[in-house]
Each structure stands twice: as structure tokens, then as C-alpha cells.
Amino acid sequence: MKYSHLYAPLTLGDLTMRNRIVMAPMTRSRARQVDDAVSSLQVAYYGQRADAGLIVTEGVHPSADGKGYNRTPGLYNDSHVTAWSGVTDAVHARGGLIACQLMHCGRVGHALNKAPGTRFLAPSALPARAEIFTESGMMPMPVPEAMTDAEITAVVDDYRQAAARALEAGFDAVELHCASGYLPAQFLATGSNQREDRYGGSLANRLRFVAETLAAIISETGAGRVGLRISPGNPYNDHIDAKPLETYSALLQLADRLGLAWVHAIRMSSTGIDSLALTRKYFRGALIGSDSFDAGEAERFIARTALDAVSFGRAYIANPDLVVRFACDAPLNALDKRTIYAGEGASGYTDYPMLAERNG
């Protein structure tokens, strides 16, 4: 076997992956806009990819307020539990593992993407200076409301309830999205958090929201079923921190103390921070690396223990049988960028050909 390290099993927390190929979390905007529910479309999509060592779902909002993008799925009521159960059943039927990525967008979003009456909650009343896709075109982001203490407590509890619902829906684990300028990252960063209470100011205070959220999730799932996604220094969605190296070093030490199963780090050389090496320095659990890997590079990183597993994003959109293709060094289908986000349609979602179909 050419990629013997990539195809070796890996135990991370309470889970044992049968290979080290992870499907990266990817928002595909195909949930039902009317009720934020997944359907048979997502059952087929994730089921096709179930031979990955681990699937991490697209970002899933833990409350209606937490939604920011068009047609993204939620996990905050019983119907959502039932809908997601279909997805987890399809993955488990093929022997796979699936984690639910919890993503609260905070100040990132637009009213056109959210249910009427929902709110934009954030650490401070500062808008993200960026635009977001809506069905009426790109729009500037709104000025959010600064959360009160009671609202912070309520949002932390929304995450806890979503974690409980994730287990009820059959998910094997939960990944907290703490990257790319969404709510947890908004609390971490000095640019978006200008609070003067115990959730802002000092580094310890800026970490508090993430610490409380992780503790709430762990109270439902245990730490062995929790992962953390980070992208230190990534300015996406106006995520600006004065000292990202310091901030993320402290966050990783927190993740280590809590005994999380994994950290899922996006490497981004433009930030000047080696997020993979930084994670290895402070975190003793499993490290999943992300961004522009191919099978050969993934194999090399795992062989020299720089990573334990590698996630693949865009390659997984176009290649449902990526695990099979890597194993036989088969060519990959090209990604059709026009259908990455495309309403409720199956086109570009569940109709990429498998290798057998291509050869047959």
C-alpha cells in the first residue's frame, strides 16, 4: 500500500477511525430555508462519503439566532434531530463516523438569510466589515447587538442543548467551530471583542466564552467526543486580533487541559503562524490538519508525526469515493465551482461520478 500511514487506523478520544482521511466541514447551502432542516439530499451526500475515517459536517447552527448564511442547517429542535438521524444512520450503515460541527455565526450574516425576528448577537456592537451572500446579492453585514451576561449564558446553553441533540441524532462527536470569525472567534479577538466585563479585555477574559462553551458541550458528550476547529490569524470575516499567537497558544492550552479528542487546524502560511506546529506544541490530543493537502503530502505529514490525520475539503465535494481513489492513485474529478452552493439541487452535490461509474 503506497499510503500506509494515511490508511492506518487512529484512535482519537473515544473514537477509532479506520483511516486518517477526514472529510472537512463544508457549508453547501442546500438545507431547507423554511425550517433549516436537512433532507434525503444530505442523507445521500454524506452516505456516499461514509468510508472516510471521519466526516465533519458542514457548520450547523445551535439556535435560530446562530444562523448567518443562506440555506444552512440547524440542530435546535426535535424535527432537526429526526432529520439528522437519517444522515447518521446512512453513515453508520457503511461503518463510518460522523461529527456535527456546531457553528454560531454571531455578527456574521444577513437578515435575508435568517428567520424573521432572529437576532445578531456578538461580544460588542461592532459590525464585521465584510460582505455576505444573500439571494438578493452580496450585502454588507449588520451592526450586531452586544450580548448581555444573561444572553451569553443562554447561548452557551444553546450549544449544550445542541450537543445533547447531536448525540440523540446519532452523531459520534461534536466539533466546535472556533475559526473564520464566527461567534467563538469573535470573543477571542480584540478587533471584535471590546467588552469591559469578565468576557473582554484580558486574554483570560476573552477566552472565557469558549471555555464555558466547551465545558457545556463536554457536560453532555464527554471530552473524548469533542473537537475544536481553529485558524489562528485568519482575517476572514474581519477577524482581527492584536496578538493571535498569544491568543491561540492560550486556547490550545485550554483544549489540552480539557482533554479534547482533537484539534482541527487550518494551515495558512499568509498569517505567518504555523498553526500545525503551534497545535503540536501545546495540545497532546489528536491533530487533524487542513488546507490544500493531496494524498502524498498527507502521507508525508502523518509519517513524520507532524499530523495524525488530514482533512480534505474541495476534493471531497467532487470525489465521493476519495478513499478509494487515493488507494489506487486514480485521477480525481474536477470541482465544478458553479454548483458549490446551489439551492436545494442534487446537481453538483450527489451526482459526481464514482470511479466504477467512470470506468464502466
Ligand X SMILES: Cc1cc2nc3c(=O)[nH]c(=O)nc-3n(C[C@H](O)[C@H](O)[C@H](O)COP(=O)(O)O)c2cc1C
Rounded CA separation 158/139 (Å): 27
Residue 26 within binding range of ligand X, rule CB under 6 A: yes
The footprint of ligand X on residues 50-89 (CB under 6 A) is: 58-59
Rounded CA separation 187/347 (Å): 37
Place of cell 461509474: 357
State the catalytic residues.
182
Residue 230 within binding range of ligand X, rule CB under 6 A: no
Residue 229 within binding range of ligand X, rule CB under 6 A: yes
DSSP structure class, residue 128: -
CB 101 within 8 A of CB 74: no
CB 295 within 8 A of CB 3: yes
3-state secondary structure of 86: helix
Number of residues binding to ligand X, judged by CB under 6 A: 20
Rounded CA separation 65/144 (Å): 11
> Which of 92-100, 159-167, 290-298, 347-355 is the region at the interface with ligand X (rule: CB under 6 A)?
290-298
The footprint of ligand X on residues 306-325 (CB under 6 A) is: 312-315
Nearer to ligand X by Cβ, of 101 and 247: the residue is: 101
- Whole-number minimum distance, CB 22 to ligand X, in Å? 9
> Which of 123-131, 186-194, 288-296, 350-358 is the region at the interface with ligand X (rule: CB under 6 A)?
288-296
Options 340, 342, 346, 354; binder of ligand X; rule CB under 6 A? 340
- Whole-number minimum distance, CB 275 to ligand X, in Å? 11
Q: Sign of torsion, CA 19 21 27 31?
A: negative
- Whole-number minimum distance, CB 20 to ligand X, in Å? 14
3-state secondary structure of 52: coil
Measured from the Cβ of residue 150, the count of other Cβ atoms closer than 10 Å reads 8
- Whole-number minimum distance, CB 239 to ligand X, in Å? 13
Q: Which residues bind ligand X (CB under 6 A)?
A: 24-27, 58-59, 101, 103, 177, 179, 229, 266, 290-292, 312-315, 340
